């Protein structure tokens, strides 16, 4: 079964690309003209049902859902990762590996011949995505390798090797929206695997949310996001401690670690946006070998 949060993220990207900032004519943080191809009326109705429960009595509940819980996370992380790929491809060949690719459409939007894309995800997700993209393939055949993987059982190294990954070429590994569901020790086992096969000057991009205070007196926005995920059948794990993340990055073989706080994300991506700001407690990380 396809991840419901992946569908909601695609819906958020589609809504922002096709319906936001039309009046003020401001440059958008991120655009994804193919996101709409992954979202049908069924997915929209599913999102609307959630939205009505979260925002009863509001005029545009789906917009509230996306503005408050998805766009503040989805927009900056996709822009952050793809800005790095854009910079690296300008100086030579790059492999862009998306672990837990979901319904990301970079392979369709990519215009650079220097970027070779590998998408790793569960069999059900890959089948769903390829089926939705079938008509698009008739017009454009993206340079992408779809790699089926069960992250609980399969070796990332083995699966990538069988798909034609070249460990001698510089790579950018992207793990977006994955750490939310995995304890920090298990997540960094994956990071260590990546480090072993990554060529020098390769990089890793991921996002995470800070571990919450269990004695916090009020229901936080993050707690509500966890409930939304649970309603989708996806249980979020405890968050991470920023200092521990930086330490584990170095232990995993990454020499540098850039960790953007919510304030940093606001300054970098939302300064000129209307009505949007970074999600509380969510960080973006870029490490380089």
Q: Domain of 42: which CATH number? A: 3.40.50.150
CA distances to 47, 196, 225, 239, 275 from 66, in Å: 9, 37, 11, 22, 12
**Cross-strand pairs, 282:** 209
* pLDDT tens-digit map of 83-118: 999 999 999 999 999 999 999 999 989 989 999 999
Angle of CA points 7, 191, 66, to nearest 5°: 25
In which residue are the tokens 């059948």 written? 233
* pLDDT tens-digit map of 204-244: 999 999 998 777 767 788 988 998 899 888 999 999 999 99
* pLDDT tens-digit map of 142-197: 678 999 998 888 999 999 999 999 999 999 999 999 999 999 999 999 999 999 99
pLDDT at 43: 77
* pLDDT tens-digit map of 13-41: 998 998 765 555 567 889 999 898 888 77
Structural domain that includes position 208: 4-288
Number of structural domains in the chain: 1
Output 47 or 201, whichever has higher pLDDT: 201
**pTM across the whole model:** 0.92
Lowest mean pLDDT among 56-70, 107-121, 243-257: 56-70
């Amino acid at each position: 079964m396809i991840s419901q949060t992946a569908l909601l993220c695609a819906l958020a990207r589609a809504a922002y690309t096709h319906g936001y900032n039309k009046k003020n004519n401001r440059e958008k943080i991120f655009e994804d003209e193919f996101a709409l191809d992954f979202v049908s009326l069924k997915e929209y109705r599913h999102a609307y049902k959630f939205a009505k429960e979260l925002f009863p009595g509001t005029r545009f509940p789906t917009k509230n859902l996306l503005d408050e819980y998805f766009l503040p996370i989805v927009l900056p992380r996709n822009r952050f990762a793809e800005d790095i790929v854009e910079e690296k491809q300008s100086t030579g060949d790059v492999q862009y590996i998306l672990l837990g690719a979901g319904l990301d459409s970079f392979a369709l939007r990519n215009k650079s011949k220097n970027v070779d894309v590998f998408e790793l995800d569960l069999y059900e997700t890959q089948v769903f995505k390829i089926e939705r993209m079938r008509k698009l393939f008739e017009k454009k055949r993206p340079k992408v390798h779809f790699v089926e993987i069960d992250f609980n059982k399969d070796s990332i190294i083995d699966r990538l090797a069988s798909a034609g990954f070249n460990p001698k070429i510089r790579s950018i590994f992207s793990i977006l929206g994955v750490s939310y569901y995995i304890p920090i020790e298990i997540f960094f086992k994956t990071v260590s695997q990546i480090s072993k096969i990554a060529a020098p000057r390769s990089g890793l991009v991921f996002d995470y949310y800070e571990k919450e205070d269990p004695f916090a007196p009020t229901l936080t926005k993050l707690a509500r996001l966890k409930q939304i995920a649970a309603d989708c059948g996806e249980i979020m794990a405890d968050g991470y401690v920023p200092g521990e993340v930086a330490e584990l990055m170095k232990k995993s073989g990454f020499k540098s670690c850039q960790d953007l706080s919510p304030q940093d994300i606001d300054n970098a991506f939302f300064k000129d946006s209307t009505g949007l700001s970074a999600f509380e407690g969510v960080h973006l990380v870029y490490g380089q070998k």
